[in-house]
Chains A and B, each alone.
Chain A
Amino acid sequence: MTDIKGTAALTPDPDDNDALREAEAARLKAVHDREFAEFTEGSYHTVERILRARCRDRQAVEDALHEAFLHGRVEWSKLRDHVRPIGWIVRTARFKMLKDHDRRLREAAVAPEDLPPSSHSDIADAWEAQETLRGWLHQLPVRHAEVFQMSKEGFSNQEIARVLGLTENSVRSYKAAAKKELCELAEKAGFTRSESERRQGAGRGSR
């Protein structure tokens, strides 16, 4: 609303113009609002799962996510042009957590050094499966857990490397290592498929 001194006289109806612009801005905002709401609903759980693979502290994850999504909304006009805006959100939320040095220290100081393998009980639903998996991921080196979870959420090696700031060689390596470590943890907790069960087709309740 600044540069209208000289042209104001020429313009037939400056108020009209402003109103037009405002209407346009409002329309754009409504579009962005809707887009962003859709984006958030479609991506929040993915980002949450990825961050929770690296961090035990659920509150810290939610705080970082909240801030990242807020910043994402503020800059949505630019983010909406990204290939996958979720990459930026993951990256932003993750760095927020990394920077919170004090909290990381506290967490490391109280983290149990050796967690016993989580007690074996039948895993009946998705929630139990996720919780069990998360318990194991927390026993892995942070980078391995993160890379593994991202690949589970459908990111390619190159995407993971770029979002997390790793080399692609590392991503391949971490992924393989994570898989191996998870297998060991699962076996330790009693989740193996014995030959007899395979034949009987019994899918669970092994030990």
Chain B
Amino acid sequence: MDLDDILALAETTPSPLELARARRVARTVQSQHDLSLAEGYKIIVDTDLADPLTWDADEAVRVTRAAQLAKQGTVTWLPGDHDSERFERLSWSDEMAMIVGHAPGTLRLTPRTLADLVHPADVERVLAAVRTAWEQSRPDEIGFRVVQPGGSVRHVYCHLEILTDAGRPVGVIATGEDITALELARQEQRRLAVRSRMLGPDPAVRDVLTGLQTRGYVIDEVDRGRRTTGGALIVVATEPATRLPDALTDEDRDQVTAEIARTLRAVVGDGVTSGLVGSGSWGLLLAPRDDAGKAEALAARIVDKFRNHLFSVRQKPLRLNTSAGVVHFDNDIPDTGFDLLVDGEHAARDAHRNATAVKVLERPVAERERTDRCRRRIHRAVSANRFALYAQPIIDLGLNQVARHEILLRVRSDTGEPVAPWAFLDMAERVGEILAVDKWVIDHALELIGRGTQTSHYQVNISGKSLADPGLLAFVTGAIHRHHVKPECLTFEITETALIENRNEALAFATGIREVGCHLALDDFGTGYGALAQLKYLPVDLVKIDGAFIVDLCRSPADQAVVSALVELCHTLGIRVAAEYVQDQETLDLLRAAEVDFAQGYQIGRPEPITVSQEEVQSIELELRLPPQQTAMG
């Protein structure tokens, strides 16, 4: 079956349905007509009654008249003929004059004035279209903009047609109308289509690894709970019962985490707000408040399940020490979601310490007590050196070789297991103790760097909050001199998970640290508090685009747009650009194509315990042996 068959099939005598419709219309029309006669009013017919099929005007007149009826304007061009007495004629209808913003009859029309009415960017296209239509004797259509005398721009759409006389082309007639409103509607439609294509899911909702909600999401939900219904927060702390072998990679650890998440999901189902809220720390929210002991029962069930479940890592069985804390809370309490989470974690720790399965708090802990406990934890961690430093390679995409390392912090759990520090750092920032941690990192990182060959370039993190401390610059320069570090080998990354507290101090630190010879970078750019204004007033040398824009780069045109625009912006401002969380070769290629300067991620290299030189691998034990007076408690 092809088009001709379909056409043949479609071409039929009217169907019974069509005939019925016709009869109905005939009847209604007839009765309306009769009614008007009977009641003596006239139905006004505004169309001229000439038979269109016999109306014998020339083509230009007919087309113009038709355009008029459709409220469109026309321009007629008759080039004339040298052999006969006809001359070039250019004319337009009143409607067309009004479309381009002139009162009818006020403008003497020449090809020149006509071209001047068209938007300068469109003139060439319009002229070419007219010329081609005339030369090939073929109709065409074209959309363009006109500039009205006041300077306002309108969108016009024109049909170009060839006028013939006795079969010979004699001119061109353009029928046009103002389609500005339509054009705007179309543009809006296109914009909306692009917008919905570009709009990604909220990355804060689900964690890729665990399939559960993220820490930020859980905290927000708990916060919502304490403002509305009240409820109970369960925090389950899990910890390997035996120390994991050092050879374990991050991937193995991730697999354990994913397995725990699966087990947790199997116990509680998907309906409960739950997520990984810290390393080995799982939060679940039960709302509204319910005193029937549901939360306690669920916590006990989870602990029981985890304690009896045999997890595995690298085909070896693994048992988890598990305990849980439950915090009940009413609505309208002053404690935030974060506060409640901290209480839950503390309760879980207490349970572990007391060798019980679950510890229950009937209400949140007093603010003062909570903060003190957090501070004590941080101080104890700092003074006991319960940290380890790792280094992750960064590749220079221009040279295609590892040119830098970022110094990363790992916090030791109670068993001495180094774990990712994000929850710990978040807590330290929130209770205002991040400075002590930052100083520890700076001092120890610079010491390790100073002992090495200093062939690489090192990037060290400082929280935006710490910059408020007036003594920080002196501390850093002191450490640089003390450990004989080449300042040009150092970049300080300002992480902006918290707001830069004191703009003036931050600026003073930034300026001062660059005078020493170090570089300055903005970390996690684009998701935290880092505003574009900072690129203007902070003397930044490097911007690290947040991983949220990189992980899905290959599949997300929105991420690609953000990255390429950021690169262009930064390069214009004299700032280099780095991308983190690079997980595959395809992303790496895209970043290189986008002229990103540096890349970092599992594809390039995972964080490794710091190596001082090629031969000597700094072991965790060595760091543990550091004497306490070298710590940076200030």
Residues of chain A having any CB pair with chain B under 8 Å? 33, 36-37, 40-45, 48, 65-66, 69-75, 78-79, 81-84, 87-88, 91-92, 95, 98-99, 101, 104-105, 108-109, 113, 122-123, 125-127, 129-130, 132-133, 141, 143, 152, 159, 161-170, 173-174, 182-183, 186, 191-193, 203-206
Contact of A41 among B19, B55, B63, B66 (CB under 8 A): B19
| Interface locus among B6-14, B358-366, B367-375 | B6-14
Does B164 make an interface contact (CB < 8 A)? Answer: yes
Measured between alpha carbons, how far is A143 from B49 in the docked complex, in Å?
24
Question: Which residue on B lies nearest to A169, using beta carbons?
Answer: B162
Minimal beta-carbon separation of A158 from chain B (angstroms)? 8
**Cβ contact within 8 Å between A129 and B29:** no
Does B159 make an interface contact (CB < 8 A)? Answer: yes
Minimal beta-carbon separation of A145 from chain B (angstroms)? 14
**Cβ contact within 8 Å between A45 and B22:** yes
Measured between alpha carbons, how far is A92 from B173 in the docked complex, in Å?
22
Measured between alpha carbons, how far is A66 from B193 in the docked complex, in Å?
37
Measured between alpha carbons, how far is A206 from B3 in the docked complex, in Å?
12
* A73-B30, A84-B53, A186-B3 known, 4 other contacts, Cβ within 8 Å: A123-B9, A169-B139, A170-B161, A191-B2
**Cβ contact within 8 Å between A48 and B55:** no
**Cβ contact within 8 Å between B71 and A69:** no
Q: A45-B14, A45-B22, A182-B3 are in contact. Are A95 and B53 (CB under 8 A)?
A: no
Contact of B67 among A65, A92, A165 (CB under 8 A): A165
Measured between alpha carbons, how far is A66 from B5 in the docked complex, in Å?
32
**Cβ contact within 8 Å between A45 and B52:** no
Contact of A170 among B15, B28, B139 (CB under 8 A): B139
Measured between alpha carbons, how far is A25 from B63 in the docked complex, in Å?
38
Q: A71-B45, A105-B182, A133-B7 are in contact. Are A88 and B52 (CB under 8 A)?
A: yes
User: B residues within 8 A CB of A161?
Assistant: 59, 62
**Cβ contact within 8 Å between B164 and A168:** yes
Measured between alpha carbons, how far is A75 from B11 in the docked complex, in Å?
30
Chain B interface: which size bin? 35 or more
**Cβ contact within 8 Å between A123 and B185:** no
User: B residues within 8 A CB of A84?
Assistant: 53
**Cβ contact within 8 Å between B2 and A108:** no
Number of interchain pairs (Cβ within 8 Å): 193
Q: A69-B26, A168-B59, A191-B6 are in contact. Are A45 and B1 (CB under 8 A)?
A: no
Bitwise interface map of B from 42 to 56 toward A, beta carbon under 8 Å scored 1, else 0: 010101010111110
Residues of chain B having any CB pair with chain A under 8 Å? 1-3, 5-7, 9-12, 14-15, 18-19, 21-23, 25-26, 28-30, 32-33, 36, 43, 45, 47, 49, 51-55, 59, 62-63, 65-67, 69-71, 137-139, 141, 159, 161-164, 169, 173, 181-182, 185-186, 188-190, 193
Question: Which residue on B lies nearest to A86, using beta carbons?
Answer: B53
Measured between alpha carbons, how far is A42 from B23 in the docked complex, in Å?
10
Question: Which residue on A lies nearest to B71, using beta carbons?
Answer: A99
Contact of A166 among B28, B49, B63, B189 (CB under 8 A): B63
**Cβ contact within 8 Å between A66 and B28:** yes
Listed from nearest, the 7 A-B pairs whose CB atoms lie closest are A165-B66, A44-B22, A40-B26, A204-B1, A109-B185, A129-B9, A129-B10
User: B residues within 8 A CB of A183?
Assistant: 3
Minimal beta-carbon separation of B302 from chain A (angstroms)? 49
Minimal beta-carbon separation of A35 from chain B (angstroms)? 11
30 contacts between A and B (CB under 8 A): A36-B30, A37-B23, A41-B19, A44-B21, A45-B19, A45-B21, A66-B25, A66-B29, A69-B29, A70-B33, A70-B43, A71-B43, A73-B33, A74-B33, A91-B47, A95-B47, A95-B69, A109-B185, A109-B186, A113-B193, A127-B15, A132-B6, A152-B11, A162-B53, A168-B59, A169-B138, A169-B139, A191-B5, A193-B1, A193-B5
